[in-house]
Structure 1
Amino acid sequence: MNDTTQLAPLPDRLSVHPRSPHHNAEVLKHEIGIKLNDKEYTNAEEYCISEGWIAVASGKALDRKGNPLMIKLKGKVEAFYR
């Protein structure tokens, strides 16, 4: 197990995409877990705790720029360091 007492608190909103204004490279250096309604998701691309949603890729579908289509799943969001 990693020692999570030395790590900064997780932000309310975080994205894995570098072009997003919610991207934080320092936080993403560590492995982060996301739970939505007590189910852990390993494919979450973005989350917002206060608004209660996570964004995940929608299968193999792509948008016109070649990026995966994202869908928002709503519920109780928990973010934690692994």
Structure 2
Amino acid sequence: MTDTARPDLPDHLSVDPRSPHHVAAVFEHEIGIRFNGKERGDVEEYCISEGWIKVPAGRTLDRKGQPMMLKLKGTVEAFYK
């Protein structure tokens, strides 16, 4: 597959396949997230227009067994590696 076949990165994207913001075609390529100028590898969800990311809060789980998420606000930039 060539670089021109990559889908555009959405404004709001989630890693969780159960989320309405999950786009499987995007995850066929390696994605990078830059938050406040630093690249992060632990981002589970992001929204560029609202300026936030969600990252796991350590090893804490919610009552459904999913990781608890922290919402961090700042400058978000998504890109293909």
- For normalisation by structure 1, the TM-score amounts to 0.92
TM-fit CA distance, 1:8: 2.1
The question of whether the paired residues in 2 share the 8 Å contact of 1:15 and 1:46 is answered with: yes
TM-fit CA distance, 1:76: 0.5
Gaps of 5+ in 2: none
Establish whether residue 30 from structure 1 lines up as the match of residue 29 from structure 2: yes
Q: Describe the superposition over 1:16-63 as per-residue Cα deviations: whole angstroms up to 9, x where unpaired.
A: 101100000001111100011001110100000000000000001111
The question of whether the paired residues in 2 share the 8 Å contact of 1:16 and 1:23 is answered with: yes
Aligned-residue Cα RMSD (Å) equals 1.4
TM-fit CA distance, 1:6: 3.6
User: In percent, how many aligned pairs have the same letter?
Assistant: 64
Number of residues paired by the alignment? Answer: 81
Which residue is equivalent to 2:71?
72
Gaps of 5+ in 1: none
- For normalisation by structure 2, the TM-score amounts to 0.93
Structure 1 residues 17-56: aligned runs within 5 Å? 17-56=16-55
